[in-house]
Amino acid sequence: MNSETLLARASTLDPTHSAATASAATSPRPLPATQPEQNAAADWDEAEEFVRLHYSEHSDQPLPLQARLHQIRTQIDQTGTYTHTDDELAFGARVAWRNSSRCIGRLYWKSLRVLDRRDATTPEQIRQHLCEHLHQATNGGRIRPVISIFAPDTPESRAPRVWNDQLIRYAGYRQDGGNIVGDPTYVDFTDTVRRLGWQAPGGAWDVLPWVVETSQDKPQLFDVPPDLVLEVHLTHPDRPHFADLGLRWHAVPAISNMRLRIGGIDYPLAPFNGWYMGTEIGARNLVDADRYNLLPAIAEHLGLDTSSETTLWRDRALVELNVAVLHSFNTGGVKISDHHTESRHFLTHMAKEERHGRTVPADWSWIVPPISGGITPVFHRYYDDADQRPNFYLDDDAKSRGKGGGCPFGHG
């Protein structure tokens, strides 16, 4: 059975997995690009708080603290906003990752590679920078955490946007009879880009094009160059016929619809990535009922007894799928992490931050892995879910374009 047949069958094996489910996901709706955001003026209190934080952790700045604060206050009074220095931008992006309560991978926050793209003004320039982002992030399979930061919203102009929620996502196609080929969550987005002119191949693993929107141009479509999309074909260490399912997943989870807020300034286009934790692929993307919903098909392939829930066929199929994901990435030389290791690393991160006197905000429902949560060390404790800035946020206009927010480490 090939992957397209399998994925079409998956939509018929669970009553919750249908075209109706897919269309319930919010569809992308273009917003006027000619007007800035109503709250685009920089917030002085946030600016001061951020600059003081920056100086407290990096005191070797070219200007004394009070001089820099005076400079910023003057700029805000005159223009409604101010410009971050290169060092402030890099520090702010890394601290935004450090403050992201939904991310389990924050131990590596200092390693984030920050690409300043604030001078890009045209859709073509933005496309080139997005391509370079994927190139640097993929790194031949040795995935690197990277963020590309484009121009912010100001009182005078609206910042550029990308409609996609991630730089790499697979299309979804409605079929006659209600079946879906591809990713059901992206059926509506696929319909939108087809109306904009995308020539959809119609396969199970078609990478969606980028929709780039700027204040001076109408939304433009750009195909993602195939040589920039590293994919891993899934095999199993003990089941050679698992490869016959034809499953695959891409290597870089680059979230592109979350607003980066640094010192009272919003950067709506700031795509970022880490590397995958295996459960995001093997326990969410390929398994969720409104995604690929593959557990019934995998259980059938494995010959499991699905006549009763007491056989725990879902659990057994889930474990074998996650074994296949980790095995395939590792044998393919593509960086990935397992949920047990990452759980221990998160507690290491918490201990380091606490030694520095910093609070570690965390959302329990996102930190605890979606498989075997009770046997990971992050399960048996409480967390502070404070909103600390700098940080990443999902706005209503971003929700209207994609499926939702995610984790800067790539687990969401």
Which sequence positions are flagged as catalytic?
103, 106, 275, 280
Angle, CA 331 vertex, CA 326 and CA 335 arms, to 5° = 60
Number of Cβ within a 10 Å radius of residue 111: 12
Residues 6+ apart with CB under 8 A from 29: 400, 401
Name which of 236, 163, 175 is nearest 204 in CA terms. 175
| Chain position carrying tokens 């993929």 | 138
The DSSP secondary structure of 134-197, one letter per residue, reads: HHHHHGGGS---EEEEEPPP-SS-PPPEE--SBSS-B-EEE-TTS-EEE-GGGHHHHHHHHHTT
Asked, as a colleague might, if the bond just before 390 is cis with ω within 30 of 0, I would say: yes
Q: Burial, 110: exposed, middle or buried (Cβ in 10 Å; 0-12, 13-18, 19+)? A: exposed
Phi and psi (nearest 5°) for 253?
-90, 95
> 184-217 b/e with 16+ CB inside 10 Å = b?
bbbbbbbbbbeebebeeeeebbbbbbbbbbbbee
Beta bridge partners of 161: 213
Q: β-strand 272-273 against 146-150: which pairing, if any?
A: antiparallel
| Chain position carrying tokens 């300034």 | 265
Structure tokens given for 191 = 């319909």
Q: Please give the single-letter amino acid code of residue 264.
A: G
Structure tokens given for 113 = 């590679």
Helix, strand, or coil (residue 113) = strand
